[in-house]
Structure formats: C-alpha cells, structure tokens
A and B are shown apart, each in its own frame.
Chain A
Amino acid sequence: MASGTVTSSEYISHHLTNLTFGNHPEAGWKLAESAGEAAAMGFWAINVDTMLWSVGLGVFFLWFFGKVAKTATAGVPGSTQNFIETIIEFVDDNVKSIFHYKSPVIAPLALTIFVWVFLMNAMDLVPVDWLPYIAGQMGIEFMKVVPTTDVNATGGMALSVFALIVYYSIKQKGVNGFFKELAFQPLPKIFMPFNLFLEIVGLIAKPVSLALRLFGNMYAGEMIFILIALLPFWIQWLLSVPWAIFHILIITLQAFIFMVLTIVYLAMAHDDH
C-alpha cells in the first residue's frame, strides 16, 4: 500500500503503532492519534488492538478445544478430535519428558501457551494490509493484528510464568530453601552477595528472555513483511511467498520454544539443588 501520499517511513511507523487508549497528560482519556501521543500516555494506557486480537484468539482456542473436549469420546475419534488429540499428546509428551513432578497445572499451561502463542503468531500470515485497511475504512486509525509483535503481550505471559516460577520455588523449597538456592551457590557461603547478584540476574533473565525472544522474532518477521509490502505490487509475491512459508516454521517454532522453556523453568523451580 505504498501510495503516493504516504512516505515509506510513515507507512512503516503507522504499521508498527498500536491502537492505544490511555490517559494523555494534556488531552485526558482518549485513543492516541499518533505514536508520539501513545508514548506520552506512559504506563496508564492500553493497547486495544493487542488486547482484542489476543483475547479473541484465546477465546477461539478455548471455544474450539472446549467444544471437542465436551464431546470427547474414548471410542473412535472424529477427525476434529483426532486433530486436537494430536496436539494434546504432543504437548503432554513434551511435559512428561521434561517435567517429572505431579502437577495439574503445568500441562494445561503448556497447552495454552503453545496454542495461544501459535494462533497469535499465525496472524502474521494474514497479509499486512488487509486488516489495518478494513479497520481504516471503519475509522480506526491504527491496527496491529499480531499481538506477539507487542512486547506487552509476550511480557504479560512471561510475567505470569515468572510469578509461577517464584510461587513453585517457594512452595517446593520454602522461603528459606529458595533463598538458599539464590544465595549459597554456585560459590561458597562467604560470597553470598556475589551469589545473590548472580542468581537474581539469572532469575530475572528467564522472563525477560522469554518475552523478548518471542517479541523480537515476531517483530522482525512482521517488519520484513512490511518492507516487502513497500515493493511494487507485482514483485511482492516473489519475496513474501518464500518469507511466509519460512514464517510458518518460525511461528510454530517460537510457540514451541516458549512452551518448552516454560516447562523447563517450572521444572527447575521444582528441582531441589
């Protein structure tokens, strides 16, 4: 959609701006009309597009899986149930091979992460201009349809995983045990401050890396789609088709990585050192 009235940089920054609703220091509560306005709103703002798309996809995921779960039969499964079972068994196998404790939470958590992240990533395959154009026709200025290209979406999940890491560490080892794990290794006790610093950095790095890995991958992928969209329309397919095919791998892989790392971190939280 590289039309004459919009410069390339305007086009790119338009596609990278969320639809933000927040408290502007001067104008009060309103939808941001530019990236600058959105930035000025600071923390007290919400990315409406990210929320809508991610919650919508999450609801779709649970509706679809829930519908199958309600009619799940131990007899001969239908093709839909077969498909769902394949995903569930895949997730279950991964959880069982990594996480050796009994927990009713980890496996459903892993499934939710895998499918939800996959669906959010998959929005990347919708041509970059379609949904923003439709939204534009409806009078909505900004529309970022891939929630995982918003660091808030990946960060929200990573933060939840971090909370679970801390929760399970304390639940399994007690506050003292958790503190000992942070303070008394890898070096002997006398190096406690150094140990503490090292381990806390390691601990914080887990959710940060989790959030930024997914965000970075999807953001970069989206960016390339946007750049390809700047080319003349008759040559775009030459680049966008191979990139989209490659991206099918990326979106699945990133969803898988997020899931596996979550399981690994929670397994580590259960392990006693």
Chain B
Amino acid sequence: MNINLTIIGQAIAFFFFVVFCMKYVWPPITGALAERKKKIAEGLDAADRATRDLHLAQEKATANMRESKLEAAAIIEQANKRASQIVDEAKEQARAEADRVKVAAQAEIEQDVNRAKEALRSQVAALVVAGAEKILETSIDEKAHAQLLNKLATEL
C-alpha cells in the first residue's frame, strides 16, 4: 500500500473517462429520455383532446338525433293531417259525384218517363182510334177527329 505514480495514472484515466462519458454517453441517452418524455406528454395531450372531441361529437349526435326526432314527428303529423284532409276531400268529392250521378239518373229517369209517356201518348191516340174504329166499325174521319184525339192524348 504505497502511494506512487498510480495515483496520477488513475487521475488521468478518470479524466478521460469523464470526458468520454460527457461527450458520448450522457447527452444521447438523456436526450432520448427527454424526447420520450415529450412524446408521452404529447400522446397524453392528444388522448385528452380526442376524449374531449368524442364528448363533443356525442353531444352533437344526441342533439342531432333529438332534432331529427322532432322533425320526423312534425313530418308525420303533417302527413297525417294531409292524409285526413285528402280523405275528407275525397269523401266530399265522392259525395258530390254521387249527388251529381243521382241528379243525372233522376233526370234520365224523368226523361225516360217523359219519353215513355210521349210514346204512350202517341200510341194511345192510335189505339184509341183503332179501338174506336173497331167499336164504331165505321171509318172515322181521322182528320176531322185528330184535333179532338190529340187534345185527349195531352190530357193523359
């Protein structure tokens, strides 16, 4: 255990080791550590932001959904109203059409009745004349009695 030159040699070796460590070991590793720390912080930030965005999106989606529901309900209501309106209109139209058809039919019937009456009237005259001819067995002057017969026919 003598103090000798080794103490100087050790000091020199120590000096070089420290210098090497200072230049090539410490900076890259601490640099990598700092960079990773930054990356992690950024990642956490991004995650936070994403969570916030997600919340906002969810809120927006719920609001949209509520709005859509309201809109849909309004549309359905409107549609229902319109449908009942259409039905009413259709009913109205049908009733009017029915009335019109009824009136037309009645008119036609009336016309038919009149026509029948007319035909009957015209035939009644002939029948009466024929009947009278047979009864009287004599020829009646058609011309002389036509006025009388026509008068009779109109009274029918």
CB within 8 Å of B: which residues of A? Answer: 16, 18, 20, 22, 38-39, 41-47, 50-51, 54-55, 58, 61-62, 65-66, 68-70, 72-75, 77, 81, 84-85, 88-89, 92, 104-105, 107-109, 111-112, 116, 147, 150-153, 155-157, 159-160
- A69 and B6 within 8 A (CB): no
Q: Is B8 an interface residue (CB 8 A)?
A: yes
Q: Is B21 an interface residue (CB 8 A)?
A: yes
Q: How many residues of B contact A (CB 8 A)?
A: 32
* Measured CA separation A42–B3 after assembly (Å): 8
- A112 and B17 within 8 A (CB): yes
- B39 and A46 within 8 A (CB): no
Q: Is B130 an interface residue (CB 8 A)?
A: no
B120 to chain A: closest CB distance in Å? Answer: 116
Question: In the complex, which of the residues B3, B10, B25 contacts A54, with contact meaning CB atoms closer than 8 Å?
Answer: B10
CB within 8 Å of A: which residues of B? Answer: 1-11, 13-15, 17-18, 20-22, 24-33, 35-36, 39
* Measured CA separation A112–B25 after assembly (Å): 10
Interface of A is mostly: helix
Contacts of B9 in A (CB 8 A): 46, 51, 152, 156
- A-B CB contacts (within 8 Å), total count: 142
- A88 and B30 within 8 A (CB): yes
A94 to chain B: closest CB distance in Å? Answer: 14
* Measured CA separation A74–B35 after assembly (Å): 6
B6 to chain A: closest CB distance in Å? Answer: 4
Contacts of B33 in A (CB 8 A): 74, 85, 88-89
* Measured CA separation A116–B15 after assembly (Å): 12
Contacts of B14 in A (CB 8 A): 58, 112, 116, 156-157, 160
